Amino acid sequence: MSVKFIDVKEPVLKKGKHYLTSDYKTRGTRSTHNGMDMIGENHSIDNVIAIADGKVITSKYSNTAGYYVEIEHANKYISRYLHMKKGSLKVKKGDKVTKGTLLGTMGNTGNSTGAHLHFAVYNDKHVFIDPLPYLLGTLNFDSPDAYKNFVINVQNSLNAKVDGIAGPETLAKTITVSSTVNRKHKVVKYIQEYLNYLGYTEVGTADGMAGPKFTKAVKHFQKDNGCVVDGIITKGNKTWKKLLKLL
| Sequence ranges of the domains in the chain | 4-133, 145-243
**Distance between CA atoms of 200 and 222, rounded to whole angstroms?**
11
Where helices occur in 95-176 by DSSP H, the ranges are 132-136, 146-157, 168-173
Task: Name the CATH architecture for the domain at 4-133.
Answer: Distorted Sandwich (2.70)
| Mean pLDDT, residues 137-141 | 81
Confidence at residue 31, expressed as pLDDT on a 0 to 100 scale? 58
Give the SS3 label for residue 94: coil
Of 80-94, 122-136, 138-152, give the lowest mean pLDDT range. Answer: 138-152
Instruction: Report the range out of 79-83, 131-135, 150-154 with the highest average pLDDT.
Output: 79-83
Model-wide pTM > 0.75 = no
CATH level 3 topology of 145-243: Muramoyl-pentapeptide Carboxypeptidase; domain 1 (1.10.101)
d(Cα 206, Cα 153) in Å, to the nearest integer?
14
Specify the pLDDT at position 28: 47
- Across the chain, mean pLDDT equals 92
E runs forming strands in the chain: 4-6, 18-22, 36-39, 47-49, 54-62, 66-72, 78-84, 96-97, 102-105, 117-122, 128-129
